[in-house]
């Protein structure tokens, strides 16, 4: 276990070096640090402790919506416009089909070459698989690193369907949901989880037929849920073809505030949630390592295959050590 | 802690009574037992130990696909046809918009009244939210209860997009993926995770234009992934309007076999995965209870809000008790 003293900044010199470079906004250091934390390289916890104390300034925007709604194009556009206002941008793409993840057509990536070549826009893509149920926590860690590295706005782009994805946008300060005309089923798919938490509804590709119907659908939904009275919730129509709606979007984005620290219950609940998530991830990692050391686990599984034992009894026994 | 002796069947008499009725196929007992296990009512572990020893006979079919693909109608049809062959059916719907969950239009439920009134078809809907990351384990527990209660075929219907949902269908003996013409984006959305694991591809609503293109898409995908040579993987076109494809479907379903116990590595990996999942859920529950007992956790969160502490340090401390 690394020993870290907050005052004296005593830490593994390699980590220390990496963190200092990251705090200066060095792109390679940011990327490396994220990878090291994701891979739980020894010392990651101490690193995150320092980073946690430096973070908390950036505004975090979650952009979500059904596949094909044009989230990546919007993210691209918004990022470039915020750059023009002098803001530093971080983008986290939690969507395997996003151009930011390299999952989309090459044409999409070429169309977005401006954003890839801007040194003040840091883009990180995260896999939606294999994160061991810890995708949301992993995203939070990345947000904090980007925040500490000096980014003003961090955009998280996710496809708005799975539970993990909903958890991720819920962690943002501000949630923008992108819908498009002519995707009745698409709206269905996201309705269950994300519709209720969005702060802003964007009807993209609004040059197409049916844009006003989507606006009406959202309005009725807001009225039904009693949210129409909240001034915070807005609906904006955008169109890349007609180049409309983007100024309104940016106006909203530059006015987003962090939720005031006075709203203690809000922060209390968020922190509590995160503690349990972290706890879960770390305990499992700990116990996995412990049990996989010798052949104990293999023998136990063997006895389950032979029906001499069952998973419930085994887990009961494993937990008994805690008592 | 309940004391349970496998030989003498000593257990809390209420649980014992419930389990015996469930083993006889009593519908209320099955429902009650599932609820008790879901809510971790004291004694649930001992109950699951007995159930585990009685389960293992039923074939488990996962049905998944994009929203609007007609999964519920197909499930309904398949269940009724398997009933005609004299099989007992269990249906687990992990989809809030499914008619089985009561989430869909009333019309859908009325259309399906045959299935709701058949005493030998047990339908259980599971929420996709709030299962504390344990949705997949919860589904496994329900599968085992239905299996032990004498069901021959258990169908799990999930929307094929989120990570949880993929995990759930992965636990099935056989995975059927439902696609429809004209949902290019829908296919995109599921491609990343489920496309690779399906044993059977169903192109539903094949009376619509574009059905053959979907078949071609699947074929090329299978060729690209080198899976076209596997005889196991089939593509079937279905249409409720033209009443085609269903006989072929049923032919496949009645021939599904459990994966032979000789494939030890397969079972080994599955059991290992389950042990870690169960362990995760149970340890977190244990530590949560422990920390929430007194005000210890609240005070710790308070100190994080005041930036005198951080979640990473706190979790490190919580885990230290394991050393």
Mean pLDDT, all residues of chain B: 80
pLDDT in tens, A175-218: 999 988 877 554 555 555 677 778 899 999 999 998 998 888 88
Q: Which of residues 258-277 of B touch A (CB under 8 A)?
A: 261, 264, 267-268, 271-272, 274-276
Given this model, what pLDDT does residue A1 score?
33
User: Could you tell me which residue, A107 or B145, shows the higher pLDDT?
Assistant: B145
pLDDT in tens, A249-270: 999 998 887 776 667 787 888 8
Given this model, what pLDDT does residue B238 score?
95
Token reading at B197: 């694991």
- Which residues of chain A lie closer than 8 angstroms to B282, CB-CB? 315-316, 319
Given this model, what pLDDT does residue B84 score?
93
A13-27, A33-47, B102-116, B157-171: least confident range:
B102-116
Given this model, what pLDDT does residue A5 score?
42
Given this model, what pLDDT does residue A100 score?
63
For chain B, what is the largest distance between any 2 Cα atoms, rounded to a whole number of angstroms?
Answer: 68
Instruction: Locate the DSSP E strands across chain B.
Output: 59-65, 89-94, 121-125, 153-159, 174-179, 200-203, 234-237
Q: Is the dihedral of CA A288, B284, A162, A65 positive or negative?
A: negative
What secondary structure letter does DSSP report for A259?
Answer: P
User: Could you tell me which residue, A268 or B264, shows the higher pLDDT?
Assistant: A268
Mean pLDDT, all residues of chain A: 80
Q: How far apart are the first and last CA of chain B?
A: 25
Token reading at B209: 């234009």
B179, B66 contact by CB (below 8 A): yes
Of B49, B53, B276, the CB nearest to A284: B276
Of all residues in chain A, the percent with pLDDT exceeding 90 is 32
User: Could you tell me which residue, A17 or B95, shows the higher pLDDT?
Assistant: A17
CATH topology assigned to domain B56-258: Rossmann fold (3.40.50)
The CB density around residue B313, as the number of other CB atoms within 10 Å, is 19
Distance, CA of A69 to CA of A179 (rounded, Å): 6
Q: Does the pLDDT at position B183 exceed 90?
A: no
CATH superfamily of A55-258: P-loop containing nucleotide triphosphate hydrolases (3.40.50.300)
Distance, CA of A264 to CA of A269 (rounded, Å): 9
Q: Does the pLDDT at position B24 exceed 90?
A: yes
Q: Tell me if chain B has a CB within 8 Å of the CB of A164.
A: yes
- Which residues of chain A lie closer than 8 angstroms to B279, CB-CB? 284, 287, 315, 318-319
Q: Does the pLDDT at position B76 exceed 80?
A: yes
Q: Are A97 and B128 an interchain contact pair (Cβ–Cβ within 8 Å)? A: no
Of all residues in chain B, the percent with pLDDT exceeding 90 is 31
A203, A179 contact by CB (below 8 A): yes
Distance, CA of A190 to CA of B316 (rounded, Å): 36
Question: How much is the average pLDDT of B161-172?
Answer: 74
Question: How much is the average pLDDT of A124-147?
Answer: 77
Q: Does the pLDDT at position A98 exceed 80?
A: no
User: pLDDT band for position B322 (50/70/90)?
Assistant: low
Q: Give the minimum alpha-carbon distance from A172 to chain B in angstroms, rounded to a whole number.
A: 17
Q: Which of residues 199-258 of B touch A (CB under 8 A)?
A: none
Token reading at A90: 């971080």
User: pLDDT band for position B161 (50/70/90)?
Assistant: low
- Which residues of chain B lie closer than 8 angstroms to A304, CB-CB? 271
């Amino acid at each position: 276990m690394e020993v870290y003293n907050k005052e004296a900044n005593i830490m593994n010199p390699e980590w220390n070096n990496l963190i200092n470079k990251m705090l200066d906004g060095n792109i390679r250091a940011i990327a490396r640090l994220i990878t090291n934390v994701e891979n739980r390289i020894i010392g990651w916890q101490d690193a995150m402790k320092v980073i946690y104390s430096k973070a908390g300034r950036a505004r975090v925007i979650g952009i979500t919506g059904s596949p094909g709604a044009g989230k990546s194009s919007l993210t691209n556009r918004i990022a470039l416009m915020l750059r023009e206002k002098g803001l530093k941008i971080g983008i986290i793409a939690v969507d395997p089909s996003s151009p930011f993840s390299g999952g989309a057509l090459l044409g999409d990536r070429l169309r977005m070459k401006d954003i890839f070549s801007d040194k003040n826009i840091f883009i990180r893509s995260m896999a939606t698989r294999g994160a061991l149920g810890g995708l949301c926590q992993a995203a939070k860690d990345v947000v904090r690193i980007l925040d500490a590295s000096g980014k003003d706005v961090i955009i998280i782009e996710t496809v708005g369907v799975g539970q993990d994805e909903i958890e991720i946008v819920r962690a943002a300060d501000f949630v923008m949901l992108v819908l498009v005309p002519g995707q009745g089923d698409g709206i269905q798919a996201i309705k269950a989880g994300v519709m209720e938490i969005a702060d802003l509804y964007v009807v993209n590709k609004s040059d197409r037929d049916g844009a006003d119907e989507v606006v009406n659908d959202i309005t009725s939904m807001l009225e039904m849920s009693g949210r129409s009275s909240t001034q915070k919730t807005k609906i904006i129509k955008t169109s890349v073809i007609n180049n409309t709606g983007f100024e309104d979007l940016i106006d909203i984005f530059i006015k987003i505030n962090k939720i005031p620290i006075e709203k203690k219950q809000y922060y209390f609940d968020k922190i509590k949630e995160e503690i349990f998530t972290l706890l879960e991830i770390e305990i499992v990692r700990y116990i996995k390592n412990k049990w996989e050391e010798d052949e104990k686990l293999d023998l136990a599984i063997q006895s389950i295959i032979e029906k001499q034992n069952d998973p419930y009894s085994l887990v009961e026994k494993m937990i008994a050590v805690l008592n």
